[in-house]
Amino acid sequence: MASYNTSDFRKGLKVQLEGDPYLMIECNFVKPGKGQALYKCKLRNLIRNTVLDRTYKSGDSIEAADIEEIQAQFLYRQGDQFVFMDNQSFEQYELSAEQVDEAWKYLKEGMVCSMLLFNNRPIGVTPPNHIVVRVEYTEPAVRGNTATNVTKPAKVETGAELVVPNFVETGELIKVDTRTGEYIERVKE
């Protein structure tokens, strides 16, 4: 199995500790007055989403994680299972609601997402940064309420509830940032 030496440590590195995949989210080089150089690292568990602090001496090494990122198409949702298909091999993967987490709000059938595989098993999915969804229901705008930044809740076709400006109506298409869940703009059909 491949491994990374401390000289290879950097943000974004995917490593394996105690059998679990981790993403290095921070790595700081510390050179004390005397003694060995140290690498203080923050690692996020890619399965449980917990953060771990570890310190390594120069010359230490960590095992590389067998992580692959693929493009997968969202096919359908069946109860708490979300079914995706690899665009290259046409292999189907099922992810639980826990694995999909908040991304379910932005999943539309046929949408291509980025999926992480650990030892050829899916561990997470990321929708595109921006998506266009139809507003299925929102309260009508109140006449005369034209103050700036007036917002209201809206239910969209994916089943999620988002906050939209007061002028957005039922049936309109809106663009949403999936990283923050924020409304960007209305989209013309």
Same domain, residue pair 71 and 121: yes
| Mean pLDDT score of the chain | 87
Distances in whole angstroms, Cα of residue 151 to Cα of each of 35, 132, 147: 58, 19, 10
Residues 117, 153 within the same domain? no
Are residue 113 and residue 161 in the same domain, yes or no?
A: no
* 149-180 pLDDT, tens digit each: 788 889 999 888 988 888 888 888 999 998 88
- pLDDT band at residue 147 using 50, 70 and 90 as cut-offs: low
AA letter at 116: L
Q: Model-level pTM greater than 0.75?
A: no
- Comparing CA positions, the residue from 154, 159, 70 lying closest to residue 109 is 159
Range of the domain at 12: 3-64
**Distance from C-alpha of 158 to C-alpha of 135, rounded to nearest angstrom:** 9
Kind and range of the H or E element at 156? Answer: strand 151-156
Same domain membership, residue 54 and residue 17: yes
Q: What is the pLDDT of residue 189?
A: 76
Whether 60 and 8 share a structural domain: yes
Query: What's the number of domains the chain is made of?
Result: 3
137 and 166 belong to one structural domain: yes
Q: Cα(136)–Cα(13) distance, rounded to whole angstroms?
A: 41
What is the per-residue pLDDT for 114?
Answer: 92
User: CA 77 to CA 107: how far, in whole Å?
Assistant: 9
Quick one: 150 and 177 in the same domain?
yes
Confidence (pLDDT) at 1: 61
Domain C-terminal end among 23, 42, 64 = 64
Average pLDDT over residues 87-116: 89
Domain end: 64, 94, 116, which one?
Answer: 64
Q: Which of 64, 89, 107 is the last residue of a domain?
A: 64
- CATH number of the domain bearing residue 118: 2.40.50.140
pLDDT of residue 52: 92
Question: Is 144 in the same domain as 180?
Answer: yes
Q: What does DSSP say about strands 112-118 and 121-126: parallel, antiparallel, or unpaired? A: antiparallel
What are the angstrom distances between the C-alpha of 84 and each of 75, 96, 130, 148?
Answer: 5, 11, 19, 41
Whether the predicted pLDDT of 135 surpasses 70:
yes
In this predicted model, what pLDDT tens digit does every residue of 46-80 receive, in sequence order?
888 889 999 999 889 999 988 888 999 999 999 88
- Specify the CATH number for the domain of residue 25: 2.30.30.30
Spatial CA neighbour of 63 closest among 5, 121, 124: 5
Residues 114 and 87 in one domain: yes
pLDDT at 144 over 80: no
Rounded-to-integer distance, Cα 106 and Cα 45, Å: 23
138 and 180 share one domain: yes
Question: Do residues 78 and 122 share a domain?
Answer: yes
- 108 & 148 share domain: no
Those residues with Cβ within 8 angstroms of residue 14's Cβ, 6 or more apart along the chain or in another chain? 21, 22, 23, 24, 46, 64, 65, 67
Across 134-160, average pLDDT:
81
